[in-house]
Homo-oligomer: A and B are copies of this chain.
Amino acid sequence: MEKLKLMSLYADFRKDLAFIERELEQSVDSSSPIIRQASLLLLRAGGKRIRPIFVILSSKFGDYSMEKVAKVAVSLELIHMASLVHDDVIDDSDKRRGFKTVKAKWDNRIAMYTGDYIFSRALMSIGEIEIREVHQLLAETMLEICKGEIIQIDFQKKVDQTFRDYLRRIKRKTALLLSSSCELGALVSNASPDVVRKLQRFGYFAGMAFQIVDDILDITSTDEKLGKPAGSDLLNGHLTLPTLYIKDEKEFQPFLQRSFDGTLTEEERAEMIKYIRKSGAIERAQRVSDLYLKKAIDELESLPEGEAKSALLKIAEFLGKRKY
């Protein structure tokens, strides 16, 4: 239902997205059966294709060229996919979006190399763009994402962390790639520097709002909708915004400890989720997301009106309020 709503927001750009989808399928069509199967598994598990749609919409503020846009969009979506495969190794996750992960279906080594392979495919795609800035920006983004992942390992199961630690982490985990999607989309279509900057900031703020909602949904949604157990973040040792607010509450401590040391029972998981939902932490986290969302929308204000701007606004609002 929710997914249908998102797709309806993409409706005007269906042709562009379909083209990118085909390019994505082609680019993982390896002669190695394992790589092909693993990549297609990832691709077909879907996802919201937010990076491609942000590239498309940002490109509309300049001289739109479907070909260039597709190369950038494919590259960014592949980088996103590759990082998911490697994340699943770190989190030892068996399921993502209801599908078995690569590391669960094969093993960690295959997951590592499938990720590497998809990264390389991403480079092949962007390699055809002849703008130096594009390559530098992409490399910097990847670098920051990697740093973020190491920091994420560092903070795993660590109770002693701040609001700022969390924000820095989600910036690298999500906001940067969305920000770069907008920036690169605008760059390849030669939008003016001012427009590039605004779109880049829009992507960043929308990304922050998006990730906070994602972290909220990990608690408020159902196992079925998530395609993995609710509360997975805690079970994987990651404190997120809602749980950061209550981590020091006495009643919450046993849940936290047992989540981190892997002894939480199924029953306790349900209790824990109930506890967090009642604590008010969800509402506080949602307010932070709303603030970021507002900042994102403010960036768009002075941009020229048109279907791209109105679609960006609607998608951002959807991402900040969504239920899946």
Which residues of chain A have a CB within 8 Å of any CB of chain B? 30-32, 34-35, 86, 89-90, 108-110, 112-117, 119-121, 123-124, 126-128, 130, 132, 135-136, 138-140, 142-143, 145-147, 149-151, 153-154
- Report the nearest B residue to A108, measured CB to CB: B108
Also in contact, A135 and B127, with CB within 8 A (given A86-B112, A151-B32): yes
Closest to A35 in B: B150
Contact between chains at B150 and A113 (CB < 8 Å): yes
* Interface contact B113-A139, CB-CB below 8 Å: no
**A113 surroundings in chain B (CB, below 8 A):** 86, 90, 146, 149-150, 153
* Partner of A110 from B123, B138, B150 at Cβ < 8 Å: B150
Do residues B132 and A146 form an inter-chain contact, with CB atoms below 8 A? no
B30, B108, B132, B140: the one contacting A147 at CB < 8 Å is B30
Q: For residue A132, which residue of chain B has the nearest CB?
A: B130
- B150 and A123 contacting across the interface, CB-CB below 8 Å: no
Contact B151 A116 (CB under 8 A): no
**How many subunits of this chain does the assembly comprise?**
2
A136→B146 CA distance, assembly (Å): 23
Dominant secondary structure of chain A at its interface with chain B: helix
Quick check: A89 and B117 within 8 Å, CB to CB? Answer: no
How far apart are the CA atoms of A154 and B106 in the complex, in Å? 12
Residue from B109, B128, B139 in contact with A153 in the complex, judged by beta carbons closer than 8 Å = B109
Contact B32 A147 (CB under 8 A): yes
Complex Cα distance A130/B127, Å? 11
Q: A32-B147, A119-B119 are in contact. List 14 more A-B contacts (CB 8 A).
A: A32-B150, A32-B154, A86-B113, A89-B108, A89-B109, A90-B109, A108-B108, A113-B146, A115-B116, A117-B147, A123-B123, A123-B135, A123-B139, A135-B135
Q: Which residues of B contact A115 (CB under 8 A)?
A: 116
